[in-house]
Amino acid sequence: MMKPVRVADYAELARAALPARVWDYLDGGSGAEWTLRDNRAAFERITLRTRVLTDVATCDSRTTVLGAALAAPIGVAPMAYHRLAHDDGERATAAAAGAHGMLFVVSMFASASYADIANAATGPLWTQLYWLRDRAALLDVVRRAEDAGISALVLTVDAPRIARRPRDLRNAFTVPADVRAVNLDAPVMATSHVAEDGTSAIERHSRERFDPSLTWAELAWLRERSALPLALKGILTAEDAELAVAHGVDAIVVSNHGGRQLDGVPAAVDALPEVADQVAGRVPVLVDGGVRTGADVLKAVALGASAVLVGRPVLWGLAHAGAEGAADVLAILREELAEAMALTGRPTLADIDRSVLAVPRPRTR
């Protein structure tokens, strides 16, 4: 292939670089992958209203989210095991995000230590958590993150367990022995590496270790033990957004886990207005799922997002060319966002409101 010029170009490069079963784990979704497809289709249904002659000589995409100063309202979504994509793993991702003034949300299942990631980082780092049955192990991860200077916690709430993902079931997917979630103690992790026909080790592992009995009231347990800001990731309704604010959460990430949890929930960008309207600016609202172009970022901001998170494309870049590939993916998004701002006549993020959105075209499917 010629030099990649669109984020989507990196998908084919990554597929060619990775073993099929690893590609399937990164690329795949749950069920019939309807929600996975709709995350993209929903962005493509939204058309834009341009304004002209507004002086777009300088377009400023800088913003601050939970104290993190960003060059653009873009971050890397938490994803497990970046070393599946490239040996340099999360250290490369941290360098790439930092090079573009973007946020990196480190997964609880990162394959590099928080300390090593922080050493490679030049920008803000948050970390994602799953609520483990073993509270001591959960707290241990929080302490490691705090010690490394991580500045916010993102609790994922759409995964009381990891959903059935047909590709991983067919492949009996296991995490390779040399790729480890090193911020979790070995005994906690053991089952992720054990093969068993017709099962996914990740799904099995989540059933053993994640605590599905978590309720709103118990969030206080974590708040009492860490002073870091707390975001909830995986909110899709106004009701849960209101509960999150009522429980003192500092930010919300509207997400369907990249179409990897309940198949049949709406596209993330379609759920965003409901959540943003309910929250009404009380806390920042972020969104992830299907962001592949700078215009997608602009659409999300118009619908009320303070920032977007980008998942798979960062791993595509890593798989193709390590830190350089991941950095190029982020560079393309940043350049395309600046272009979308200029060509819609919105030179600042504050100018990007719903007036930039045309009435969505009717669905044709």
Ligand X SMILES: CCCCC(=O)C(=O)O
Catalytic residue numbers?
257
Q: Is 73 in the site for ligand FMN (CB under 6 A)?
A: no
Q: Is 233 in the site for ligand FMN (CB under 6 A)?
A: yes
Q: Is 200 in the site for ligand FMN (CB under 6 A)?
A: no
Among the listed residues 96, 78, 105, the one whose alpha carbon sits nearest the alpha carbon of residue 321: 96
Q: Count CB-CB contacts under 10 A for residue 343.
A: 16
Does the annotation flag 260 for ligand binding?
yes
Q: Is 206 in the site for ligand X (CB under 6 A)?
A: yes
> From ligand X, ligand FMN, none, which one binds at residue 291 (CB under 5 to 8 Å depending on kind)?
ligand FMN
Q: Is 109 in the site for ligand X (CB under 6 A)?
A: yes
Does the annotation flag 4 for ligand binding?
no
Give the residue, chosen from 132, 202, 340, 349, that forms a contact with ligand X under the rule CB under 6 A: 202
What gap in Å lies between CA 61 and CA 90, rounded to an integer? 25
Q: Is 205 in the site for ligand X (CB under 6 A)?
A: yes
Does the annotation flag 111 for ligand binding?
no
Would you give the binding string for ligand X spanning residues 74-103, x where CB under 6 A is met?
------x-----------------------
Q: Is 311 in the site for ligand FMN (CB under 6 A)?
A: yes
What gap in Å lies between CA 183 and CA 177, rounded to an integer? 15
Q: Is 39 in the site for ligand FMN (CB under 6 A)?
A: yes
Shortest distance (Å) from residue 109 CB to ligand X: 4
Does the annotation flag 128 for ligand binding?
yes
Give the residue, chosen from 40, 86, 100, 260, that forms a contact with ligand X under the rule CB under 6 A: 260
CA 183 to chain centre: 19
> Which residue, 233 or 320, is less far from ligand FMN as judged by CB?
233
Give the residue, chosen from 30, 35, 127, 128, that forms a contact with ligand FMN under the rule CB under 6 A: 128
Q: Is 191 in the site for ligand X (CB under 6 A)?
A: no
Binding residues for glyoxylate: 25, 165, 257, 260
Binding site: residue ranges? Answer: 25, 78-80, 107, 128, 130, 156, 165, 233, 255, 257, 260, 288-292, 311-312
